[in-house]
């Protein structure tokens, strides 16, 4: 008779203000990319699950949109999505950018007090500090609150300290069976993964308001066996007709660049040849109309 391994599993929300490095932290915790990354705030638009598994432990991380004072209907739904994630989790990772402290942190501190969920405080971006001794007063400030199971300084970008996060979560999470097959790293449907990668390239290559006015919908993914190619058709939606020209670019060069970068990443991700067909359309004011959000298939609340 073989000894049975007692497994632990649980759901962990990664929360924080916009642009504190939540998505980079998640990707490096998993050792693979499941959440798109940009230096621009509010890149993550909906809760994305990343699945970490080792022999006796499975952690379902939920990367949430940055919590902020939302103005548009779409952004309000984003924040609502992040807050709802806290209701169904076993633990919380609160990510704070130690190189850019903000007064809005108090909002999240108040949320954590209300949830009574075990919380790890992640002091991120320590690689940006000129002197690590700058951490000491920050750690002391938060330690006095007696709210956190652990306070962990890390660099999500450089994967420094991430093993400590996993070990501390293992102490907190309950015994139970795995939620997913150990081979899974995300439960995000392929169409949404593709749409997110295309949107990331728009964030990377365009500026000011344009990235926030963009939504991507994958219309179809079809196998072409005789050519051994996966044919993907997707539409990039903008809020105003005037923004179409920015996405398309002079002589179609911007759209071509977006498509090339997205195709290369998709071929790396899916390990196969991709033909990516991109279109650009205007959908006036899509961030303010629920019917448009449903049409675009954006998974919020």
Residue-wise pLDDT for 130-181, tens only, equals: 998 999 999 999 999 999 999 999 999 999 999 999 999 999 999 999 999 9
* Digit-coded pLDDT (tens) for 172-202: 999 999 999 999 999 888 999 999 999 999 9
| Mean pLDDT rounded to a whole number for the chain | 90
Query: Would you say 56 and 5 are in contact if contact means Cβ atoms under 8 Å apart?
Result: yes
Q: Residue 283: what pLDDT?
A: 92
Structure pTM? 0.86
Sequence-ordered strand ranges (E) for 6-165: 8-15, 48-54, 57-63, 91-97, 119-124, 150-153
Q: Residue 295: what pLDDT?
A: 82
Q: Residue 4: what pLDDT?
A: 57
Torsion angle of the four alpha carbons 196, 200, 203, 204, in this order, in degrees rounded to the nearest 10: -170
CA distance 175 to 53: 14
298 pLDDT higher than 60: yes
The conformation of residue 186, written as its DSSP 8-state character, comes to: B
Q: Residue 255: what pLDDT?
A: 97
* Digit-coded pLDDT (tens) for 237-263: 999 999 999 999 999 999 999 999 999
Torsion angle of the four alpha carbons 30, 36, 40, 42, in this order, in degrees rounded to the nearest 10: -90
How much of the chain, in percent, has pLDDT values that exceed 90?
66
Q: Which CATH superfamily is domain 190-295 in?
A: K homology (KH) domain (3.30.300.20)
Q: Residue 67: what pLDDT?
A: 74
Closest alpha carbon to 179 in 77, 82, 50: 50
Q: Residue 2: what pLDDT?
A: 41
Helix locations, the chain, DSSP H: 22-30, 73-85, 105-115, 135-143, 162-172, 190-205, 244-248, 253-270, 290-295
* Digit-coded pLDDT (tens) for 12-34: 999 999 899 999 999 999 999 99
Arithmetic mean of pLDDT, 117-125:
97
Q: Which CATH superfamily is domain 8-172 in?
A: P-loop containing nucleotide triphosphate hydrolases (3.40.50.300)
57 pLDDT higher than 80: yes
Domain ranges of the chain: 8-172, 190-295
């Amino acid at each position: 008779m073989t000894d049975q391994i007692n497994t632990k599993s649980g759901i962990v929300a990664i929360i924080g203000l916009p642009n504190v490095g939540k998505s980079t932290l998640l990707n490096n915790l998993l050792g693979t990319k499941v959440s798109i990354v940009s230096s621009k705030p509010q890149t993550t638009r909906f809760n994305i699950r990343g699945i970490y598994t080792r022999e006796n432990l499975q952690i379902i991380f939920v990367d949430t949109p940055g919590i902020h004072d939302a103005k548009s209907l779409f952004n309000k739904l984003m924040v609502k999505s992040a807050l709802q994630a806290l209701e169904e989790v076993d633990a919380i990772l609160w990510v704070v950018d130690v190189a850019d402290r903000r007064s809005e942190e108090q909002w999240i501190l108040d949320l954590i007090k209300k949830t009574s969920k075990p919380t790890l405080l992640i002091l991120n971006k320590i690689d940006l500090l000129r002197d690590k001794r700058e951490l000491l007063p920050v750690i002391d400030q938060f330690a006095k609150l007696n709210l956190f199971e652990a306070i962990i300084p890390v660099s999500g970008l450089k994967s420094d300290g991430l093993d400590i996060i996993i070990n501390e979560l293992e102490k907190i999470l309950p015994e139970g069976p795995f939620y997913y097959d150990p081979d899974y790293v995300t439960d995000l449907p392929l169409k949404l993964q593709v749409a997110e990668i295309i949107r990331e390239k728009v964030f990377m290559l365009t500026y000011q308001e344009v990235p926030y006015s963009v939504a991507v919908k994958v219309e179809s993914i079809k196998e072409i066996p005789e050519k051994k190619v996966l044919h993907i058709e997707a539409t990039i939606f903008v809020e105003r007709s005037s923004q179409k020209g920015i996405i398309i670019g002079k002589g179609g060069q911007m759209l071509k660049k977006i498509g090339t970068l997205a195709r290369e990443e998709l071929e790396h991700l899916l390990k196969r040849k991709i033909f990516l067909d991109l279109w650009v359309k205007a959908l006036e004011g899509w961030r303010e109309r629920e019917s448009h959000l449903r049409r675009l298939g954006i998974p919020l609340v």
